[in-house]
């Protein structure tokens, strides 16, 4: 029993699923503290990955945060929610940490299934990661908009994507959203290859 629990504890995919479900439940039942829930989830993620001592995951986590910060530097004026979220130096912490957690979380899922196509080229790997990214991006954006009622008031007048009616934003911002995952994966892949060779 103890070995099974340890095995579960050492698996970032299982822990990630548990944390994700808890975050969604907390955001649903105490919506006014959604930003605090996300901050707590991110702090937990950092502590957990450091505890695992998995360098690949540490690099992936750092890079996801860099990507999130870079995006917020460009798009911070595009965020203003229908709820009062923590803002530090003009940067809304809610989308910042959601992007960091999202990019990293999808990499964890990809990392779990990569063994099935480890010998395939980067194009196949990019396709797999991107497919997971797009499906989960649309799922969570739809969940946030239609179920949790998290609305970005700054871009709410723009049309959302067809079918899902989510990601209400200018076209350029929608393109950034859909391309963020693939670009993150390619940069991470190149960085990992560089580290292995040096």
pTM of the model: 0.91
- In angstroms, the Cα distances linking 184 to 56, 73, 106, 110 are 14, 16, 11, 13
Query: What confidence score (pLDDT) does residue 23 get?
Result: 93
For the chain, what are the domain ranges? 55-197
In tens digits, the chain (198 residues) has pLDDT values of 556 666 777 888 888 988 999 999 999 898 888 999 999 999 999 999 999 999 899 999 999 999 999 999 999 888 988 888 888 888 899 999 999 999 999 999 999 898 888 788 899 999 999 999 999 999 999 999 999 989 888 888 899 998 888 999 999 999 999 999 999 999 999 998 877 776
Cα distance between residue 172 and residue 190, in whole Å: 26
- In angstroms, the Cα distances linking 72 to 55, 96, 117, 159 are 26, 7, 34, 21
Per-position DSSP letters for 120-175, written without gaps between them: S-HHHHHHHHHHHHHHHHHHHHHIIIIIS---BTTTTTS---TTT----S-HHHHH
Cα distance between residue 173 and residue 13, in whole Å: 29
Query: What confidence score (pLDDT) does residue 172 get?
Result: 95
Query: What confidence score (pLDDT) does residue 194 get?
Result: 79
- Nearest residue to 177 via CA among 114, 85, 144, 13: 144
Query: What confidence score (pLDDT) does residue 134 get?
Result: 96
């Amino acid at each position: 029993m103890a070995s099974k629990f340890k095995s579960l504890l050492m698996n970032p995919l299982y822990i990630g699923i548990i944390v994700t479900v808890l975050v969604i439940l907390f955001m649903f039942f105490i919506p006014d503290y959604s930003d605090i829930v996300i901050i707590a989830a991110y702090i937990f993620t950092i502590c957990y990955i450091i505890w695992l001592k998995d360098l690949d995951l540490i690099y992936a986590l750092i890079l996801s945060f860099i990507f999130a910060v870079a995006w917020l530097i460009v798009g911070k004026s595009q965020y203003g929610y229908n709820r009062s979220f923590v803002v530090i130096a003009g940067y809304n912490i809610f989308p910042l940490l959601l992007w960091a957690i999202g990019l990293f979380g999808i990499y964890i899922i990809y990392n779990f299934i990569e063994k099935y196509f480890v010998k395939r080229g980067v194009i196949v790997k990019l396709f797999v990661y991107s497919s997971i990214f797009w499906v989960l991006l649309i799922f969570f954006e739809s969940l946030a908009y239609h179920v949790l009622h998290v609305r970005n008031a700054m871009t709410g007048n723009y049309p959302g994507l067809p079918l899902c009616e989510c990601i209400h934003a200018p076209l350029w911002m929608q393109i950034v959203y859909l391309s963020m995952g693939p670009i993150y994966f390619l940069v991470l892949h190149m960085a990992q290859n560089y580290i292995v060779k040096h």
